[in-house]
Structures are given as C-alpha cells and as structure tokens.
C-alpha cells in the first residue's frame, strides 16, 4: 500500500501529507516575505532593465554552475563538490514536483511507477544520490577534520546541520526506492534492469515480513519527505538562504562595467555614501543575504593576507548580522535608531585598508560586491563625517588646488616632455596621449612616459598632448570617497577633451584608462581609450615595432585596474614573450596579487601588518626572474620601493613594459 494511503494515529496519510507540506510552505513563505520587507528598507536601485540578458547570464552561472567552475584549481577543488550538490538538488527538485507533489500528493503514484520515465529517472536519481552522498561526506571531512585555512572558524553547528541534511537526503531516497523494490512495486519500466544501487539495497529487506516491509517503506517515504520540508525551512532560516538569494543576486547584479562605481547625484542625494545599514541599496542588501561564508574572498584579499584589520568575508558577515538585527526592529518601529555602520560596525581602519584590487569580487561564487560597499562607506567618512587620514586629505587638497595628487611635486605638467618635440593636441592628431599625473610629475614614472613617446614616434603614430590643460582624471578622489571632487574633475576633463575633438586616447596608466573609459561615460564622455600595452602589442603584431629581447626571464605584475577591471591579460604577456620569456608568479592573471597601491592607498600609510608590496616581491623572487615587468606607474613605484626595502636590487629590477620595449 502506498504510504499516503495508510492511516497514522487515525489521520489519513493524504491529510497528513498536505497539512505538513502546506505548513512548511507557509513558514517558508512567511520568512521570505519578511526578508523581502527588510530588504526594501534599503535605497532604490534600478536593476530591472535587460531582463532577457540577465536571465541568460543567470542560467549560465547558476544552472551551468559557472559560479563554481571559474575558481576550481588544483589547490582548491571544493567547487566540484558544490557542482554535484547544485545539479543533484535540481535533479531531485524536479522529481519532487513530478513524483511526490503530483504523484503521491494526488494519488497518481501507482500510475507513475509503471511508466518508463519513472524508471529512467530513478536510474538517474540512483547515480546522483551516490555522488551527493560522497560529496557531502567529503565536505564534512574537509570542514571538520582537514580544516583548510579559508574555512577556519566555520566549524559551526549550523554548518554541520546543513551538511548532515545533504548527507542523509540521498540515503533516505535510496532506501525509499529499495524498500519499494522489496515490496514488489519498483519502478516497473518496460523490462529494463532496476536502478542498481536501490536494487542492491533492497536485498537488506529480504527477510522482513510484508507488514514490517510496508512499515519500513512508509518510514523511509516520510523520513525523506520530512527531510525535504526541513531543508526548505533551513533554506529560509539559515545560511542555506544562499540557495535562493544567490540566484536573484546573480540575476540583479550590476550591469555596469566592472570598473564603474555607482554615481551619486550630488544635487538630490539626502546622504552621501553609507552611514547606516539602510543606506545601502536593496541590491546591496541582497548581496548580504547571499553570502555563505565560504571564505574565498578572504583567501585572496591582500589586506587580510598582510594581517590588516580588513577581512572581506567578515565585512560582509558583520553587515549581514547588522541587517538581520536592525531591519526587523525598523519594521516594527520606524523611529528605531539603527547603529552606525561606517566607523562603527565596520571600523574606519578596515575601510581604509582596501586597495580596491577587486580580487574578492572576482572570486566570489555568489557575485557579491565588496568594493562598492567599501567605497560607499568611504564616501560617508569623507563627505559626511570628515574622517580621512591626513596624507589622503592632502592628496585630495592637492587635486583640488593643483589638479594632481602629488603634493611634493615641484615640476610643471609639461617639463617631462622637454627635448622630445611633442605636438600640442589639435584637430589633426589621431590620438591624444593622456599622460596622467604620475606620468607627468612623479620622478620614476616620467621615464615610462618618455619611453612611450619614443615608441609612438618609432611607429609613426600621429599624437598630441594636452600639456598644462590636462588635469587629474579624478580616480584617486573617487576611490578615496570624494565623489564631489571626482565629478568636478571628470566634468572639467570631458570639457577639455571635447574642446579638442578628442576621439582616441592612449595612456600608460590603468587607473586613468579605467576612469576615462568606464566612468566618464556617465557624464557624457565617450572616448576610445587604449592602454599602451594594447597599442604596443598590436604594433608588434603589424610589424611596425621592432622588439629586441635578451632572453633573460621576466615575470609580470598584473595591474588590478588593467587585468581584473578590464580583462587585459593577453597583450602584456604577448609582449613579454617576445622580449625574453615569461615566468609567472604563483598568483597571476585573474588571481594576481595587488601591489598595494590601488584604491588611493598610494597616499595612505601602511600602518598595520606586513607590507603588501614586499609580499609581492617575495613571490617575484621565487620565480628566479631578473625583471618584474608591469604596466602601471603605481605598480612600478610600489614594486621598486619593495625591491629597495628588501635590498634585492642586484637580483631583481622593476620596469614598465614601455621601458623594456624602448630600451630606456
Ligand atoms: S562574500 Fe562571497 S567569497 Fe566571500 S565568504 Fe561570502 S560567498 Fe564567500
Ligand atoms: S578589493 Fe582587494 S583589498 Fe579590498 S577587500 Fe577586496 S580583496 Fe581585499
């Protein structure tokens, strides 16, 4: 007799099934509705455009599990287990709809059990069950016995409960089918062999009486279904929430270029940046619901690795905890005074530690954005609380007063070009060479600019410069939280660029590159921006530039704003290959380790922990390369500083790719 045709303490099986199912669905819906109400306390954010594109991308990252595939490596294969869980979950979910809700719930089990579809599907579930069981067992051993660094402190009761449900779930399924086979109402099929694992397990029941077997089958059916209902409630009430939150998080993720921060409307904004949890947008709150504490972000964060207070996982978890505590109170009492997040729940030290390297955003399997939240908190520190480290404040004042952040610089914007015979920009020039504040004023970086000019002349490129009319692109101001100053600089520069009819811009600075290419568009500045590595690579390709290499090994430092923000990985490498051969550091490409100078950190002292640039130089030394090449004036300064402080000038030198090509 099917389990739902039986009576339990006088209650018919069907009634019990639907009472429990509807109760669980009700509790689930209640919790989800509450979470949505909490989320709606956040600021508005436009995320409803391009719905088809969003749906396709979401399908690729969730159903296709690209979210996990992207970070599987030989060192960390945990993503394989997750893929098994996710695909296993989807396979089972379909079976619940067809065989339990429709089949058992509406008395159609007997009909379904005799269909070929049921037989095939039970075969699939048989195999999936074994895989999920093995993956869950491995996950428990890994988390509680092996304890890899990124799961340190994550041996919680909640995590164990979740993993035990994943472990028991396939077991109850297999025994449910095995007892059905023993009862002689197996997946009947059309003469095909029975699902192998369940069929083998059915032998355990051989000596049971019919009544005992019937009771065992009913017990496994109910155990399995109650486990599913329990998991559904766990999804809503625990970190399992990521199973649904992450799906919507992927769907609603920002469609802006990776290098573009959200623009504040300075005229209408009621508050600048984030002071309290409800100053985040609803999408930023959805990010918080999605975090599953996997620790991948903390593993790649240079601030965490160098022992600083910032830990991106804890930052998200602390914000999540604040949201979970504060939002329900605010729903009850609109006048409830929420805690200060910026400088309170999250310390200002941690907020200033970030290099905005984007390693955390890149690696997060759930598409949680950390950098935007950190910059929003910086905006509040700077524009509302006037809390900013002295050295950063001086850089901002220098941009405001002199159009560049280098407060000690005494040279003028055009002195670097003396003797080079460079045209001022005019309508005949095909390209504008955007020099950047470092390239024009910082002693070491001037050589990059001079080398680049030599290359441009050698390749007969028709270019000009803005000279004294060029001003800071505003990138340091924006990353340091002074959105007002950034917008002023952006508008001023766009006006100048339009005045000269500029269409194509070459620059050697990835920070200028990112800002002009990705952030000026919001202010009406549309330009074709080319990084010097892109140009050099194509000139070599076209045979317009000769390369004289000396076969000495070179390693390469990926500038974050070139690589992770703009996906320029190939061109610098192709140039280096031609120069003498590339030898990669342990962390490279998408997983490259920051030099420590991004996000305005060039103008901030590194007060706690080890120095990030020195950690990077240690990785470079391990390669045995004699040169560390880079393609960013900030990286070059940071790496050269570290070479000096580590005293390894004799074994390693830092050079920009332009310097290597020009032989300067
Ligand atoms: S933010 Fe992303 S990478 Fe970091 S712990 Fe949460 S889920 Fe993992
Ligand atoms: S952007 Fe870089 S420094 Fe900032 S939290 Fe993320 S990984 Fe850490």
pLDDT tens digits for 442-464? 999 999 999 999 999 999 999 99
Does the C-beta of 301 come closer than 6 Å to ligand 2?
yes
Question: Residue whose CA is closest, atom 7 of ligand 1?
Answer: 291
Most ligand 1 atoms within 8 A of CB, residue of 67, 159, 289, 295 to mutate: 295
- Cα 4 to ligand 2 centre (Å): 54
Distance between alpha carbon 495 and the CA centroid of its chain, in Å? 34
Q: Which residues contact 285 (CB under 8 A, 6 or more apart)?
A: 38, 39, 41, 42, 277, 323
Question: Residue whose CA is closest, atom 7 of ligand 2?
Answer: 301
Q: Please count the other Cβ atoms lying within 10 Å of the Cβ belonging to residue 481.
A: 29
The DSSP symbol for 599 reads T
Most ligand 1 atoms within 8 A of CB, residue of 310, 313, 358, 363 to mutate: 313
- Ligand 1 atom nearest to CA at 295: 5
What is residue 454's predicted lDDT score, i.e. its pLDDT?
96
pLDDT tens digits for 331-343? 999 888 889 999 9
Average pLDDT of the chain?
92
Residue 637: strand, helix, or coil: helix
Does the C-beta of 455 come closer than 6 Å to ligand 2?
no
Choose the weakest-confidence range: 333-342, 503-512, 516-525.
333-342
Put the strands of the sheet holding 554-556 in their side by side order. 554-556, 627-630, 653-656
Question: Residue whose CA is closest, atom 6 of ligand 1?
Answer: 291
For 445-482, what is the HEC assignment?
HHHHHHHHHHHHHHCCCCEEECHHHCCCCCHHHHHCCC
Closest ligand (CA of 596): 2
Question: Residue whose CA is closest, atom 8 of ligand 2?
Answer: 301
Does the C-beta of 371 come closer than 6 Å to ligand 2?
yes
For 77, counting Cβ atoms within 10 Å of its Cβ (0-12 exposed, 13-18 middle, 19+ buried), the class is exposed
Asked if 435 contacts 456 with a C-beta cutoff of 8 angstroms, the reply is no
- Cα 75 to ligand 1 centre (Å): 18
Q: Is the pLDDT of residue 435 over 90?
A: yes
CA distance 128 to 370: 35
Most ligand 2 atoms within 8 A of CB, residue of 356, 377, 598, 600 to mutate: 356
For 433, 451, 463, the CA distances from 664, given in Å and listed in that order, are 19, 6, 20
Instruction: Write the Ramachandran bin of 10: left for phi over 0, alpha for psi from -120 to 50, otherwise beta.
Output: left
Long-range contacts (CB closer than 8 Å, 24 or more residues apart) made by 482-486: 482/379, 482/382, 482/383, 482/396, 483/263, 483/264, 483/266, 483/272, 483/273, 483/379, 483/383, 484/266, 484/383, 485/396, 485/399, 485/400
Closest ligand (CA of 361): 2
Does the C-beta of 360 come closer than 6 Å to ligand 2?
yes
Asked if 24 contacts 263 with a C-beta cutoff of 8 angstroms, the reply is no
For 635, counting Cβ atoms within 10 Å of its Cβ (0-12 exposed, 13-18 middle, 19+ buried), the class is buried
Long-range contacts (CB closer than 8 Å, 24 or more residues apart) made by 64-73: 67/246, 67/250, 67/365, 67/366, 67/367, 68/365, 70/365, 71/296, 71/363, 71/365
Does the C-beta of 224 come closer than 6 Å to ligand 2?
no
What is residue 191's predicted lDDT score, i.e. its pLDDT?
53
Does the C-beta of 511 come closer than 6 Å to ligand 1?
no
- Ligand 1 atom nearest to CA at 293: 5
Structure tokens at 177: 């089918």
Render the burial of 390-428: b for 16+ CB within 10 Å, e for the rest: eebbebbebbbebbbbbeebeeebbebbeeeebeebeee
Does the C-beta of 313 come closer than 6 Å to ligand 2?
no
Top pLDDT among 86 and 574 is at: 574
Question: Residue whose CA is closest, atom 2 of ligand 1?
Answer: 364
Does the C-beta of 312 come closer than 6 Å to ligand 2?
yes
What is residue 408's predicted lDDT score, i.e. its pLDDT?
65
Does the C-beta of 346 come closer than 6 Å to ligand 2?
no
Please name which of 371, 372, 341 lies closest in space to residue 277, comparing C-alpha atoms. 341
Bridge partners of residue 276, in order along the sequence = 340
What is residue 188's predicted lDDT score, i.e. its pLDDT?
55
- Ligand 1 atom nearest to CA at 298: 4
Is residue 186 very low, low, confident or very high in pLDDT (cuts 50, 70, 90)?
low
User: What count of residues does the chain have?
Assistant: 664
- Cα 39 to ligand 1 centre (Å): 19
Residue 312: strand, helix, or coil: helix
Residue 628: strand, helix, or coil: strand
Most ligand 2 atoms within 8 A of CB, residue of 370, 373, 590, 591 to mutate: 370
Tokens 């103008």: give the residue.
603
CA distance 363 to 143: 20
Most ligand 2 atoms within 8 A of CB, residue of 303, 349, 367 to mutate: 303
Question: Residue whose CA is closest, atom 2 of ligand 2?
Answer: 357
Most ligand 1 atoms within 8 A of CB, residue of 290, 319, 366 to mutate: 366
The DSSP symbol for 399 reads H
What pTM value is reported for the model? 0.90
What is residue 187's predicted lDDT score, i.e. its pLDDT?
62
Choose the weakest-confidence range: 94-103, 221-230, 645-654.
94-103
- Cα 182 to ligand 2 centre (Å): 57
Bridge partners of residue 528, in order along the sequence = 504
Is residue 66 very low, low, confident or very high in pLDDT (cuts 50, 70, 90)?
confident
Does the C-beta of 368 come closer than 6 Å to ligand 1?
yes
- Cα 563 to ligand 1 centre (Å): 21
Does the C-beta of 297 come closer than 6 Å to ligand 1?
yes
pLDDT tens digits for 548-592? 877 789 999 999 999 999 999 999 999 999 998 899 999 999 999
Angle at Cα 611 formed by Cα 606 and Cα 617, nearest 5°?
145
Asked if 261 contacts 267 with a C-beta cutoff of 8 angstroms, the reply is no
Does the C-beta of 296 come closer than 6 Å to ligand 1?
yes
Does the C-beta of 301 come closer than 6 Å to ligand 1?
no
Question: Residue whose CA is closest, atom 4 of ligand 2?
Answer: 354
Percentage of the chain modeled with pLDDT above 90: 74
Angle at Cα 635 formed by Cα 364 and Cα 581, nearest 5°?
90
Is residue 190 very low, low, confident or very high in pLDDT (cuts 50, 70, 90)?
very low
For 43, counting Cβ atoms within 10 Å of its Cβ (0-12 exposed, 13-18 middle, 19+ buried), the class is middle
The 3-state DSSP composition of the chain as helix, strand, coil percent (nearest 5) reads 60, 5, 35
Percentage of the chain modeled with pLDDT above 70: 98
Q: Is the pLDDT of residue 110 over 90?
A: no
For 68, 427, 462, 487, the CA distances from 468, given in Å and listed in that order, are 49, 18, 20, 20
Choose the weakest-confidence range: 70-74, 95-99, 253-257, 416-420.
70-74
Asked if 633 contacts 450 with a C-beta cutoff of 8 angstroms, the reply is no
- Cα 351 to ligand 2 centre (Å): 10
Does the C-beta of 242 come closer than 6 Å to ligand 1?
no
**φ/ψ of residue 442, rounded to 5:** -90, 125
CA distance 257 to 242: 25
CA distance 180 to 198: 9
For 25, 26, 29, 236, 514, the CA distances from 33, given in Å and listed in that order, are 12, 10, 6, 10, 40
Tokens 């950390």: give the residue.
370
Angle at Cα 591 formed by Cα 532 and Cα 141, nearest 5°?
175
What is residue 664's predicted lDDT score, i.e. its pLDDT?
64
Residue 248: strand, helix, or coil: helix
CA distance 216 to 6: 13
């Amino acid at each position: 007799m099917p389990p739902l045709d039986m009576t339990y303490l006088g209650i018919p099986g069907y009634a019990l099934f639907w009472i429990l199912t509807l109760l669980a669905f009700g509790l689930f819906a209640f919790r989800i509705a509450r979470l949505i109400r909490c989320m709606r306390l956040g600021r508005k954010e436009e995320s409803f455009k391009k719905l088809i594109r969003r749906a396709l991308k979401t399908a690729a990252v969730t159903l296709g599990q690209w979210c996990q595939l992207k970070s599987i490596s030989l060192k960390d294969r945990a993503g394989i287990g997750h893929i098994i869980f996710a695909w296993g979950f989807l396979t089972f979910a379909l079976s619940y709809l067809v065989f339990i809700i429709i089949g058992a719930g509406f008395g159609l089990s007997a009909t379904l059990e005799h269909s070929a579809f049921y037989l095939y599907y039970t075969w699939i579930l048989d195999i999936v069950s074994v895989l999920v069981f093995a993956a869950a067992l491995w996950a428990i051993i890994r988390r509680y016995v092996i304890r890899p660094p990124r799961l340190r402190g994550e041996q919680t009761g909640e995590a164990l409960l979740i993993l035990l449900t994943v472990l028991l779930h396939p077991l109850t399924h297999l025994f449910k089918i095995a007892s059905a086979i023993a009862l002689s109402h197996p997946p009947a099929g059309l003469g095909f062999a029975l699902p192998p694992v369940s069929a083998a397990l059915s032998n355990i029941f051989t000596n049971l009486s019919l009544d005992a077997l019937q009771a065992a089958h009913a017990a496994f059916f109910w155990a399995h279904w109650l486990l599913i209902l329990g998991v559904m409630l766990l999804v809503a009430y625990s970190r399992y929430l990521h199973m649904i939150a992450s799906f919507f998080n992927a769907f609603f993720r920002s469609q802006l270029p990776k290098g573009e921060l959200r623009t504040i409307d300075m005229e209408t904004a009621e508050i600048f940046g984030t002071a309290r949890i409800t100053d985040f947008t609803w999408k930023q709150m959805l990010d918080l619901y999605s975090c599953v504490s996997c620790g991948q972000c903390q593993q790649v964060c240079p601030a965490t690795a160098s022992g600083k207070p910032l830990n991106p996982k804890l930052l998200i978890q602390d914000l999540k905890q604040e949201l979970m505590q504060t939002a329900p109170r605010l729903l009850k009492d609109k006048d409830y005074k929420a805690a200060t997040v910026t400088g309170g729940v999250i310390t200002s030290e941690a907020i200033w530690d970030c290099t905005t390297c984007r390693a955390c955003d890149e690696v997060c399997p759930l598409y949680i954005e950390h950098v935007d939240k950190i910059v929003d908190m910086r905006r509040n520190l700077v524009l509302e609380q006037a809390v900013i480290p002295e050295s950063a404040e001086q850089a901002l004042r220098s941009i405001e007063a002199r159009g560049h952040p280098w407060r000690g610089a005494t040279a003028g914007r055009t002195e670097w070009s003396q003797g080079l015979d460079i045209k001022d920009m005019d309508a005949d020039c095909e390209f504008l060479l955007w020099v950047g504040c470092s390239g024009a004023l910082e002693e070491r970086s001037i050589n990059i600019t001079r080398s680049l000019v030599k290359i441009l002349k050698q390749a007969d490129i028709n270019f000009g410069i803005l000279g004294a009319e060029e001003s800071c692109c505003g990138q340091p101001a924006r990353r340091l939280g002074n959105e007002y100053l950034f917008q002023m600089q952006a508008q001023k520069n766009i006006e100048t660029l339009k005045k000269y009819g500029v269409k194509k811009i070459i620059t050697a600075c990835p920070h200028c590159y990112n800002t002009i290419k990705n952030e000026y568009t919001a202010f009406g500045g549309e330009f074709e921006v080319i990084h010097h590595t892109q140009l050099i690579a194509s000139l070599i390709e076209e045979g317009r530039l000769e390369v004289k290499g000396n076969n000495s090994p070179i390693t390469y430092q990926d500038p974050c704003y070139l690589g992770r923000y703009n996906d320029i990985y190939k061109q610098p490498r192709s140039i280096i290959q031609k120069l003498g051969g590339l030898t990669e550091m342990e962390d490279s490409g998408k997983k490259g380790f920051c030099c420590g100078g991004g996000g305005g950190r060039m103008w901030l002292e590194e007060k706690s922990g080890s120095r990030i640039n020195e950690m990077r130089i240690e990785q470079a030394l391990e390669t045995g390369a004699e040169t560390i090449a880079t393609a960013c004036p900030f990286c070059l300064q940071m790496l050269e500083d570290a070479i000096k402080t580590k005293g390894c000038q004799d074994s390693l030198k830092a050079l920009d790719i332009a310097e290597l090509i020009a032989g300067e």
